[in-house]
Structure 1
Amino acid sequence: MGTAARTEDRQDERTAVVTALRLGWSMADAYHHAQTADLVADPHRPATAPAKLSNLTEMPGRQRLGMYLDGVDVALAQIAPLTPSGRVLPSTDAARRAAGADREPLLLALDGLNVDVLRWTMATNHRVGVAYRLGRSLADTVRRSDAAELVQRFGGRQVQLSRWLDELASVLPPYSAAVVRRSLSAWAGAVGRATVGDPGEAGLAELARELRNQGDLWQDVLTGGLHPRDLLDEENWAVVARNVVIRDRRLVAQAARGIFWPVLAPLLVVLLAVVGVSAAAAAGSPTTRAAVALVGLGAGLTAIWRSISTPTLSVAAEVNRPLLESELVAQMSARIDRPLAAARRAGRAGRQRPPSDVGSKYVARVSGVDLP
């Protein structure tokens, strides 16, 4: 019963952490929306039915803000069962009342709501609070921006994000923290190389265009909407198998060299001595003595193998598991980094595109000699 209760509590914490991450992302989106969207309804707009049902991007700014705040209310209600009874939930009422033509009261109300939620989540469960901060910071990191803002966002923030991912790895969906951390490191490296003008890297403009798409993938992976292992194809699995076999072969060779002289060599010397004495003491023809020696040698080698194989295979299984995990994470990260690969392709295409004033390749250019 105790084990079942602990398992249920663990599942509740996992759910709360993922919900808090979504909550932080929604809060960051709500604040950005309040900064940029038109929140005042046009009273002169005719009330005509649209040709099709409205999409999210066609929703009026005020209603979209209400949708973000609805998401905050739902997330808080889902996390509430983890809190002690009697604690009051943060309320979005002040932010809803402040929505209007003047943005300043709304932004102040949203920031106040953010502080209330941060205090409430940190007091509820430390990892729930960290997840809220992680979601909010990731959303701000992948916000659409220009090249200058992109450099600022990867000026060191990814270090703290990686620390939070490490802290939450055990309660986030499987592989998600490791995959996003590796992908985040790849993006930080790409931005750093693009900043110094590395010709082999995508430009800052291409990276900025694809960053939001990368953020959507990070959010899906961290919240369990997308399992990165589902993106692996046959080629990825073949690469994983090949790399694991290569690593296993190296480990076996290193282990054999390590135990041969201190362990195997003395055992073999003792075995050969015992077999030699037994064969010499055996009565009968030389053929009989040779048979006795072979039987003794086989029995001794079998005993040595049995004494060594069980612990060796057990250790190999323990060592092989993290090797397999690391190879899977590498391949899953490569699949998740599709927007980064797209930015690099766009950068290469832009560098390879000929200038617009080259004219036709079938007509010679006018040279200085041809000019009057």
Structure 2
Amino acid sequence: MKDTTASSGLGRHPVEERLGSGTLPDEDVIAALRLGWNMAIAYQNPPPMSPTTASSSHPGDHLPGFSSFTAAEVAAVRRGKIEGDVKRLGLGDALQSLFESWDTASSDQYKQALIELFVKQHIKLAGLDSRLVTALGLGRMLADTVYLPTSQNPEQLATSFEENRIDTGQRWLEELRRQLPAGAAAAVIGSLDQWQKRASQIDAEQVTEALTRRLRKQGELWRRLLCGETAVADQLTGSDYVRASAALAQRFGATAIEYSKHWYALILLMLPAVALFIWAILQTGIPAETRLLSVVAALLGTLGISWKTIGGSLGRIFAAIEQPLWEAAVSEAAVHACTLPMPSEIQNDSAFRDVRNRRGRQA
């Protein structure tokens, strides 16, 4: 495995400093996560035993896009990705049995070879770094979450977003937070929460092709964020920062209100003393025309001391919590920015709204 301890010469995006873990991403952890993702998809999509005609057999005006590749060519691309990450992690000796029969094995033989390779990877990575095993499992879990549900198997959506399963994935993300790109773990944790809520509001008959396509697109965004192919900061727009600023102001206000409650006792204790002081002024021989000025001065002095004490203490608290509160606000905005909207036909479906409202009342 490559040494990832050396510092990169590239500066970080300023927002990444607010979002980030404070360390550079661990490229081996990312490779293990990507490997788990690609192996899960490869397992679900065995290559055809008789490769179809190559996409380049009928030349056109331009090179074919990936969507034009045949199933065999797509499988070959995935094989290349798996091979690259397996070799990076020092697991190349486990590839031979799989790739020798890649194009000739039956679907069952191919899947059995993948299972054996996956188990071997687990065993070897466990002896190197437990975080690599966690990353491998996380990649597999996320790919299964978004690729297994289909309109032909709608019940799988509820299974994919089952509470204990999502909790496990979120725990793995939390464990790997410092090894992943800035803000990526927190954004995906929050986005998984959003999709889990959505899945609980969708009935099986609403699991359409549009929904499963959107879910897979969401999964690809999660993968790109976690693998550093796109930055969380790049997903944020001006409206996201406005939302974060509003959340920060609201938290500051709540902090000020909560803090002021602790000064009620002091204020109540000071009122009798101020009243006694004013009474003493009124009983002295001070000329009547100056008594009012003396009373006002006493009140202003008391209020000034109180505000100086409270304001100074509150200011120090705000200075201490400003950065963590802003980071939390930006992280919440990032979750919103990194969660794709539901397909319009689902959002507008009256049955979906009824289920959502009914389950919201039950909660």
Q: Give the Å deviation of 1:68.
A: 2.2
Residue 98 of structure 1: how far off its partner (Å): 1.2
Which protein has the larger Cα radius of gyration, Structure 1 or Structure 2?
1
In the TM superposition, 1:64-83 aligns within 5 A as 64-80=74-90
User: Is the counterpart of residue 149 in structure 1 residue 156 in structure 2?
Assistant: yes
RMSD over equivalenced CA pairs, Å: 3.9
Mapping for residues 221-370 of structure 1, pairs under 5 Å: 221-261=225-265, 263-266=266-269, 305=307, 307-340=309-342, 342=344, 344-345=346-347, 347=349
Report Cα offsets for 1:33-81 as digits up to 9, x if no partner: 32xx424236x9898452132332333444433332322232244445x
Counterpart residue number, 1:181: 189
CA distance in 1, matches of 2:55, 2:174: 53
Structure 1 unaligned residues grouped into runs of 5+: 81-87, 198-202, 352-372
Does the 8 Å CA contact 1:214/1:340 hold for their aligned counterparts?
no
Would the aligned equivalents of 1:90 and 1:113 in 2 still touch at CA under 8 Å? no
Displacement after TM superposition at 1:142 (Å): 0.7
* 1:25 and 2:32 are equivalent in the alignment: no
Size of the aligned set, in residue pairs, is 329
TM-score, structure 1 as length reference: 0.71
Determine which structure has greater relative contact order: mean sequence separation of CA pairs < 8 Å that are 6+ residues apart, divided by chain length: 2
Change (3 A) 1:11 1:23: farther
Matches for 1:100-249 after TM superposition, within 5 Å: 100-103=103-106, 104-143=108-147, 145-146=150-151, 147-156=154-163, 157-195=165-203, 203-205=206-208, 206-249=210-253
**Contact kept? 1:176, 1:228, Cα under 8 Å:** yes
| Amino acid of the structure 1 residue aligned with 2:340 | R
Counterpart for residue 19 of structure 2: none
CA distance in 2, matches of 1:348, 1:102: 48
Contact persistence 1:66–1:96 (CA under 8 A): no
Distance 1:269 1:259 in 2: 15
Structure 1 residues 136-181: Cα deviation after superposition (integer angstroms, max 9, x where no partner): 1101111152213223322342222122122222332232222222
Question: Match of 2:94?
Answer: 91
Aligned twin of 1:369: none
Tell me by how many angstroms 1:133 deviates. Answer: 0.6
CA distance in 2, matches of 1:275, 1:153: 72
**In the TM superposition, what whole-angstrom CA distance separates every residue of 1:278-315 from its partner, at most 9, and x where no partner exists?**
x89x9997888988887787677666555544442232
C-alpha separation in 2, matches of 1:107 and 1:297:
83
Aligned equivalents of 2:83, 2:216: Cα separation in 1: 25
Q: Structure 1 residues 273 and 71 mapped into 2: Cα distance closer, same or farther (>3 Å)?
A: farther
Report the CA distance between 1:97 and its aligned residue. Answer: 0.3
Tell me how far apart the structure 1 counterparts of residues 331 and 55 of structure 2 sit (CA, whole Å).
Answer: 54
SS of the residue 1:124 aligns to:
coil
Query: What SS is found at the alignment partner of 2:94?
Result: coil
- For 1:129 and 1:275, locate their aligned partners in 2 and report how far apart those are by CA, in whole Å: 74
State the shift of 1:89 in Å.
4.7
Pair 155,257 (structure 1): closer, same or farther in 2 beyond 3 Å = closer
Structure 1 residues 3-50: Cα deviation after superposition (integer angstroms, max 9, x where no partner): xx7979x9576322222211211111222232xx424236x9898452
Structure 1 Cα separation of the partners of residues 207 and 98 of structure 2: 36
Contact 1:244 1:323 in 2 (8 A): yes
Aligned letter for 2:315? L
Q: Show the counterpart of 1:53.
A: 63
Between the aligned partners of 1:209 and 1:167, the Cα distance in structure 2 is 29
Distance 1:299 1:46 in 2: 86
* Alpha carbons of structure 1 residues 45 and 317: separation in structure 2 relative to 1, 3 Å: closer
Distance 1:306 1:319 in 2: 20
Secondary structure of 1:160's counterpart equals helix
1:38 corresponds, among 43, 48, 64, to 48
Supply the AA of the counterpart residue of 1:114: F
Query: Are the aligned partners of 1:191 and 1:207 in contact in 2 as well (CA < 8 Å)?
Result: no
**2 CA distance for matches of 1:305 and 1:274?**
19
- 8 Å contact kept, 2:55–2:64: no
For residues 159 and 144 of structure 2, the distance between their equivalents in structure 1, rounded to whole angstroms, comes to: 12
254 and 45 in structure 1: CA distance in 2 versus 1, 3 angstrom threshold = closer
User: In the alignment, residue 20 of structure 1 is paired with which amino acid?
Assistant: A
Q: Give the Cα–Cα distance (whole angstroms) in 2 for the partners of residues 12 and 254 of structure 1.
A: 37
